[in-house]
Amino acid sequence: MDVPAAESLIEVNFPFSNISEIEELRNLLAASIQPEDKEGGGPGEMISGMTGKNFAAGSMMLRGKKLVRTTTVSESMENPLADESLGEEGEEMMREMFADAAIIYIMEFPGKVKKVKGFPGHEVQNNLVIQTLGMMELFDDPGVITGALSGEVKFKR
């Protein structure tokens, strides 16, 4: 955290040895952040809306040297900032807090990336495909994730 520059970074790294572990992690995260009392709401509910069962679903298939990823947003996804319990002041505060925030997805392959179809706005760095999404853009239009995290990547082993 750089207080004078008003910047911070949270990095989460999940190295997977096979694609099935991605779904296992998603299920564990979704279960761990559910609020204890459904009527209680709170931060667990907000986080769940963005990362757990209520946000994105999809599939990944590895066919030789080609990864195919399809992502869709759950029909039940709602903008967590539109929650009435936050109130106008709470929503304004959250918008200020997340104004410059970004979610960066990095897919690392066991060889150099040769071709990428989809994943609009991606960047390729040798064996990495990097996708950067603005947090506020996702809050305000969750459907962005459908196109942003769907596509095909061919790589060389």
Residue 84, pLDDT > 50, answer yes
What rounded mean pLDDT belongs to the chain?
A: 76
- Residue 22 tokens read as 């991605």
Backbone angles phi, psi at 77, to 5 degrees: -65, 130
Q: What is the 3-state secondary structure (H, E, C) of 11-74?
A: CCCCCCCCCHHHHHHHHHHHHHCCCCCCCCCCHHHHHHHHHCCCCEEEEEEEECCEEEEEEEEC
More confident residue, 31 or 36: 31
Token code pair at residue 124: 């390729």
Please choose, from the candidates 96, 76, 152, 78, the residue with its C-alpha nearest in 3D space to the C-alpha of residue 119: 152
- pLDDT on residue 51: 43
Q: Are 119 and 148 in contact (CB under 8 A)?
A: yes
pLDDT digits (tens, 9 = 90+) for 63-73: 889 988 888 77
Residue 155 is predicted with a pLDDT of 94
pTM of the model: 0.65
Banded pLDDT at 157 (limits 50, 70, 90) = confident
pLDDT of residue 28 exceeding 80: no
pLDDT, tens only, 115-152: 999 999 899 999 999 999 888 888 788 778 888 889 99
- pLDDT of 75: 66
Helix (H, G, I), strand (E, B) or coil at 89: helix
Domain definitions of the chain by residue range: 20-155
Q: Is the pLDDT of residue 112 over 90?
A: yes
Counted residue by residue, the chain has a size of: 157
123: which strand partners?
Answer: 130
